[in-house]
Amino acid sequence: MKYLWAFLMLLTMSSCLDDDTTDYETIDYDAKNETEILNYLDAHELEAQKSDSGLYYVINEAGTGAQPQVNSDVRVRYKGYFINGNVFDQSSEEGITFNLLQVIAGWREGITYFKEGGEGMLLIPSRLGYGYQNYNGIPAGSVLIFDITLLESN
């Protein structure tokens, strides 16, 4: 009887062990982000272009001025938010100036689809944003959405 009790305790304890090591190792963020972006576009009745990298972009106004290259200095007015609509960052009305080599890959690519005066939206999967780990208040694997206006390109 003593051995039966010990066996049952061992069996109970071993069944509580989780064979799955960690969730982040099993999440396919590319597939998850793709689904999130497509659902967002559908829910908001938006038509977007998808680049070869997986970036989605909506051009509401193409603009008529200079078109930036991936190493250009630009001045952009923007609002950044998550799929759920929570804003995590935004510029002033005057915009912010930076070199495209200093920003995430989704911005570096996405801004080049606009000319000065252009307006639209970038929907950036996490692999073109901040990746698969938490970063400065941005949760791991987050799709980032930016409403942008390209004010100036040099």
- Tell whether the model's pLDDT for residue 98 goes beyond 50: yes
**pLDDT attached to residue 134:** 93
Q: Is residue 36 part of a domain?
A: yes
Q: Give the chain's mean pLDDT.
A: 88
**pLDDT attached to residue 25:** 62
- CATH number, domain containing residue 31: 3.10.50.40
The pTM is what? Answer: 0.83
Q: Is residue 6 part of a domain?
A: no
Q: Is residue 1 part of a domain?
A: no
Q: For residue range 55-74, what is the model confidence (pLDDT) as tens digits?
A: 999 999 999 999 999 999 99
Q: DSSP readout, 7-34?
A: HHHHHHHHHTS-S---HHHH--HHHHHH
Per cent of the chain over pLDDT 70 is 84
CA proximity to 114, closest of 73, 152, 71? 152
**pLDDT attached to residue 120:** 98
**pLDDT attached to residue 6:** 38
Residues 6+ positions from 19 with CB-CB distance below 8 Å: none
CA 18 to chain centre: 31
Q: Is residue 78 part of a domain?
A: yes
Q: Is residue 11 part of a domain?
A: no
**pLDDT attached to residue 26:** 79
Structural domains of the chain, count: 1
Q: For residue range 23-61, what is the model confidence (pLDDT) as tens digits?
A: 556 789 999 999 999 999 999 999 999 999 999 999 999
From residue 126, how far is each of 61, 86, 136, 137 by CA, in Å?
Answer: 25, 16, 14, 14
Q: Is residue 17 part of a domain?
A: no
- Domain of residue 35 covers 27-153
Q: Is residue 20 part of a domain?
A: no
Q: Is residue 111 part of a domain?
A: yes
Q: Mean pLDDT throughout 106-128?
A: 98
